[in-house]
């Protein structure tokens, strides 16, 4: 299952990078078939959603939930960027040749550089986010291990306390039995001494008389 999850994550990373690149091409305004490009981007969004759903089904644990949340947030950010490009492109006619003639080669190069830098920043953000998620998952696993070890220690301590309590109860019963036997022996000794005293008194009485 871990291999399948990693495959979904790699496909998602490649897909979001492709979406970002297409948004950059759409933003530059040099694409002849912008409608086709928009349809491709929308199809990519649907594919990304399907990948996240499959990833959610295959993933288990706190670390996986954190990664899914980060992926969904990143996809939402890219979707908002796409909507922003669509809204901004609606303010001018993309088929106007004069607009393309007004763009110099310097402007085109600048826009291409901006798109490249944006792609690089997106890739770095994804890499950094994935690294943070992995670190968080490792910390969570370590905390769970510590809690499990502490739980086992507490259980062993409880077991020793129960054994100690049982031993104390046995010792208490033994002491009570010894005390009762000692009192019984003393009572018998007193009765014997009393009986001997009575016999001695009777003997002296008969001796004197």
* Inter-residue contact 49 to 8 (CB < 8 Å): no
- pLDDT above 70 for 187: yes
Q: Place 90 in a pLDDT band, splitting at 50, 70 and 90.
A: low
Q: Place 106 in a pLDDT band, splitting at 50, 70 and 90.
A: low
Whole-angstrom distance, CA of residue 52 vs CA of residue 69: 10
Between residues 124 and 15, the one the model is more confident about = 15
Tell me what the mean pLDDT of segment 57-76 comes to: 72
* Inter-residue contact 9 to 67 (CB < 8 Å): yes
Q: Place 93 in a pLDDT band, splitting at 50, 70 and 90.
A: very low
Q: Place 64 in a pLDDT band, splitting at 50, 70 and 90.
A: low
- pLDDT above 80 for 104: no
pLDDT of residue 92: 45
Cβ neighbours, 10 Å, residue 38: 18
Whole-angstrom distance, CA of residue 94 vs CA of residue 100: 9
Q: In the chain, where are the structural domains located?
A: 2-157
Tell me what the mean pLDDT of segment 155-175 comes to: 88
pLDDT of residue 62: 42
Q: Place 87 in a pLDDT band, splitting at 50, 70 and 90.
A: confident
- pLDDT above 50 for 186: yes
Whole-angstrom distance, CA of residue 88 vs CA of residue 80: 12
Whole-angstrom distance, CA of residue 135 vs CA of residue 67: 11
Query: Which stretch, 3-17, 51-65, 119-133, has highest mean pLDDT?
Result: 3-17
Tell me what the mean pLDDT of segment 78-95 comes to: 70
pTM of the full structure:
0.42
């Amino acid at each position: 299952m871990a291999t399948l999850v990693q495959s979904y994550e790699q496909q998602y990373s490649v897909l979001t990078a492709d979406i970002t690149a297409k948004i950059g091409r759409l933003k530059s305004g040099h694409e002849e078939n912008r409608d086709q490009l928009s349809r491709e981007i929308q199809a990519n969004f649907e594919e990304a959603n399907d990948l996240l759903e499959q990833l959610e089904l295959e993933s288990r644990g706190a670390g996986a939930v954190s990664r899914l949340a980060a992926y969904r947030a990143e996809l939402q950010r890219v979707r908002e960027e796409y909507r922003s490009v669509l809204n901004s492109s609606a303010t001018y006619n993309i088929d106007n040749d004069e607009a393309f003639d007004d763009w110099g080669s310097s402007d085109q190069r600048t826009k291409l550089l901006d798109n490249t830098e944006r792609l690089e920043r997106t890739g770095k953000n994804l890499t950094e986010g994935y690294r943070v998620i992995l670190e968080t998952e490792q910390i969570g696993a370590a905390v769970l291990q510590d809690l499990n070890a502490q739980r086992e220690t507490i259980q062993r301590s409880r077991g020793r306390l129960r054994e100690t309590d049982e031993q104390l109860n046995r010792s208490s019963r033994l002491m009570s039995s010894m005390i009762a036997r000692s009192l019984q022996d003393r009572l018998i000794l007193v009765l014997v001494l009393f009986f001997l005293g009575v016999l001695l008194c009777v003997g002296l009485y008969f001796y004197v008389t």
